[in-house]
Amino acid sequence: MQCRQCSTEIPADSPFCNRCGAAQDAERAPQPFEARASTPQPAEETLWAGRFALRSEAHLWLFAGLWGALALGLYLRFADNPSQTLSLVALALALVPGFLQLGRALVQRLSVRYRLTNHRLFTQRGLFARVHDEIELIRVDDVSVRQNLVQRLFGVGTVTVLSTDATNPVLEIAGVLEPLELKELIRTQVRARRARTTFL
């Protein structure tokens, strides 16, 4: 039997040439580097997009409602002859915390957006001036989910992404819907990305 590469005589059952080391089985023959390098990579596509969900702060809405009810209850219980000014102060004490919480949540919902592709995780922050950041999925080391009791009831939570990215090593995707599904999606894409890179 002759070697497929250098035509040297080798034993009939030898899988490799003793002289040049070439594989004799066509199925075992290593793929040329040029062929491996030219393997087409999948196009980048958006797999998930999300932003802060207002229901993720349901526990704070509950506290604001309890505070308002307590403040108005105390006012009605102890104010015998209330003046108009005292009534306005009591109303402000009851309602302002809830409105401040609502305003903060709305700003966070409008100013922060997230997007996951099969290559990268994008973050966009800001209402007028905007900051764009991205993390290559191959740099992601760990993904975790944090939920309190009320957030579990409403199906929201915070996904924390740990990576070796120099700009943003700890990324918190706060108050998103279905955080466990998002965590698994990120994990799956990270493993797929690493598998493709390792092959190349």
pLDDT digits (tens, 9 = 90+) for 125-181: 998 899 999 999 999 999 999 999 889 999 999 999 999 998 889 999 999 999 999
Please report, as a single letter, which amino acid is at residue 139: R
pLDDT digits (tens, 9 = 90+) for 53-84: 988 888 888 888 888 888 888 877 787 777 78
Of the candidates 153, 173, 152, the one whose C-alpha atom is nearest the C-alpha of residue 161 is 173
The token duo for 144 is 């975790």
**In sequence order, what are the residues at sequence separation of 6 or more whose Cβ sits closer than 8 angstroms to the Cβ of residue 197?**
138
109 vs 10: which has the higher pLDDT: 109
- pTM, 2 dp: 0.68
Of the candidates 72, 63, 62, the one whose C-alpha atom is nearest the C-alpha of residue 92 is 72
What's the pLDDT band for 33 if we cut at 50, 70, 90?
A: very low
Helix, strand or coil, per DSSP, at residue 5: coil
- Predicted pLDDT of residue 94: 84
> Do residues 18 and 7 make contact, with C-beta atoms less than 8 angstroms apart?
no
- Predicted pLDDT of residue 166: 87
Does the structure show a pLDDT above 90 at 9? no
> Do residues 37 and 53 make contact, with C-beta atoms less than 8 angstroms apart?
no
Q: Which residues partner with 91 through β-bridges?
A: none
Helix, strand or coil, per DSSP, at residue 9: strand
Tell me which of 16-20, 25-29, 122-126, 145-149 is least confident: 25-29
pLDDT digits (tens, 9 = 90+) for 91-107: 888 888 888 888 889 99
- Predicted pLDDT of residue 21: 67
User: How far, in Å, CA of 123 to CA of 133, rounded?
Assistant: 5
Does the structure show a pLDDT above 80 at 194? yes
pLDDT digits (tens, 9 = 90+) for 43-55: 889 999 999 998 8
